[in-house]
Amino acid sequence: MPVEPPPTPWVMPSPHLADPHGLVAVGADLEPGTLLAAYRSGLFPMPFTRRKVGWWSPDPRGVLPLDGLRVSRSLRKSCRRFEIRRDTAFEDVMRRCADPHRPHGWINEEFVQAYVRLHELGWAHSVETWLDGALVGGLYGVHIDGLFAGESMFHTVTDASKVALVALVDDLRDSGAVLLDVQWCTDHLASLGAVEMPRQDYLRRLEVAIATTER
94 in Cβ contact with 116 (< 8 Å): yes
pTM across the whole model:
0.95
pLDDT value at 212 more than 90: no
Dist CA 154 CA 180 (whole Å):
18
CATH code assigned at 20: 3.30.70.3550
Q: What percent of the chain has pLDDT over 90?
A: 91
Up-side HSE of residue 109: CA atoms within 13 Å toward CB?
A: 1
Number of other CB atoms surrounding residue 41 within 10 Å:
18
Q: Are residues 100 and 28 in the same domain?
A: no
Q: Are residues 29 and 75 in the same domain?
A: no
| Mean pLDDT taken over the chain | 95
Reduce the DSSP state of residue 68 to 3 states and report it: coil
CATH code assigned at 119: 3.40.630.70
Q: Are residues 22 and 113 in the same domain?
A: no
Q: Are residues 84 and 130 in the same domain?
A: yes
Number of other CB atoms surrounding residue 116 within 10 Å:
15
Confidence at 50, pLDDT banded by 50, 70, 90: confident
At residue 149, the pLDDT reads 98
Q: What percent of the chain has pLDDT over 70?
A: 96
Q: Are residues 28 and 105 in the same domain?
A: no
More confident residue, 214 or 8: 8
How many folded domains does the chain comprise?
2
Confidence at 102, pLDDT banded by 50, 70, 90: low
Confidence at 10, pLDDT banded by 50, 70, 90: very high
At residue 111, the pLDDT reads 96
Residue 73 covered by a domain: yes
